[in-house]
Amino acid sequence: MPNSVEVNPPAAQLHVSAHGTYWLWSVFAVFAVTLLFTLMWSFIQPRGQRAFHHIALVILVVGTIAYFTMASNLGQAAVTAEFPRSHTGPITRGVFFARYVMWALNLSLIILSVLLGTGATLSEIFITIVMNLVWIVLLLFGAIVTSTYKWGYYTLSVLSIFYVLFHINFLSVRSSLLPNRRSSVGGAGYITFFWLMYPLIWPFADGGNVISPTGEAVWYGIVDLLTMPVFVITHLWGARGVDYDTLGFTSGKTTDFSGVQHGGHGVGHSTTTTGAPREKVDPGSTAV
């Protein structure tokens, strides 16, 4: 059976080998199995208690699609490497832009999942997610730039990720009075350690062309597995006993409560007394 490299020939001279695609298929399989497990796990959760599970499902869906794309040797572009290394003359290297799209979506959702349990304000969550998108986009810019200016993008990206990680840890420690403090602080420390691997690997991969695209796929695959499937499962397990009411996650829709029917014909008790006189409302004193 032909492999992905033979079916979808790469445009770049330096590209993932056939053995590299086998590794990418393995990572895809882990994402897919974890996705199915999390989907079944979410079904046994009570309604109104599935917020973290739904975020995890989106993370795993995006990761599964991204790794299917990369394992198929698709979702990449040929970029002239700044340093040809042992090769004579200019040489092109395959850059998986599908990986950067996955990071932009999934790492932002991981931030959302962690910060939702910290009591952070909407503006704090928003700025953290935006700065997370900034450092990933800057790395993508650096990967497709062929001159030394790519290292300017890399420097700005490193500064951005340090801001993101500092903000995540600060907000998590500040949530010391919340019941899920251990889960929030533990999750923040976990992603801080492993997310620093991304800017450490990049100079040797898309940045400096030191390691081969196959070696890059192996290193990024390991980190992605630890920061996505492994993280979401451990985070869901740590948050399993959290009271969603204390975090304001419980749905207020009437369809979430038993005993309430449409049209007022249900078996639930009505809160309206038909014989009680209605209070006259002054139209000029409407609350705003």
- Cα separation, 134 vs 128, whole angstroms: 10
Please tell me whether the overall predicted TM-score, pTM, comes out greater than 0.85 for this model.
Answer: no
Asked whether residue 31 is domain-assigned, the answer is: yes
Please write the tens of the pLDDT for every residue from 51-101: 888 999 999 999 999 999 999 999 999 999 988 877 777 899 999 999 999
Q: Domain range for residue 47?
A: 4-247
Taking the CA atoms of residue 191, residue 226, residue 71 and residue 158 in that order, the dihedral angle to the nearest 10 degrees is 30
Give the Å distances, CA to CA, from 38 to 30, 114, 221.
Answer: 12, 17, 20
226 is written with which tokens?
Answer: 């630890």
Q: What are phi and psi of 92, to 5 degrees?
A: -100, 150
Asked whether residue 281 is domain-assigned, the answer is: no
Please write the tens of the pLDDT for every residue from 232-254: 999 888 777 666 665 555 545 54
Asked whether residue 148 is domain-assigned, the answer is: yes
Give the Å distances, CA to CA, from 270 to 92, 250, 253, 267.
Answer: 71, 22, 16, 9
- Tell me, what CATH number does 58's domain have? 1.20.1070.10
Asked if residue 120 has pLDDT above 90, the reply is no
The label of the residue with tokens 């739904």 reads 54
- Cα separation, 211 vs 236, whole angstroms: 35
Nearest to 136 by CA among 232, 227, 270: 227
130 is written with which tokens?
Answer: 């935006």
pLDDT for res 263: 45
- pLDDT, average across residues 202-210: 94
Asked if residue 116 has pLDDT above 90, the reply is no
Asked whether residue 258 is domain-assigned, the answer is: no
Asked if residue 282 has pLDDT above 80, the reply is no
How many domains are contained in the chain?
1
Asked whether residue 110 is domain-assigned, the answer is: yes
Asked whether residue 264 is domain-assigned, the answer is: no
In this prediction, residue 270 has a pLDDT band, given cuts at 50, 70 and 90, of: very low
Asked whether residue 16 is domain-assigned, the answer is: yes
Asked whether residue 35 is domain-assigned, the answer is: yes
Q: What is the mean pLDDT of the chain?
A: 84
- Cα separation, 233 vs 213, whole angstroms: 29
The three state secondary structure string of 140-176 is HHHHHCCCCCHHHHHHHHHHHHHHHHHHHHHHHHHCC
pLDDT for res 119: 74
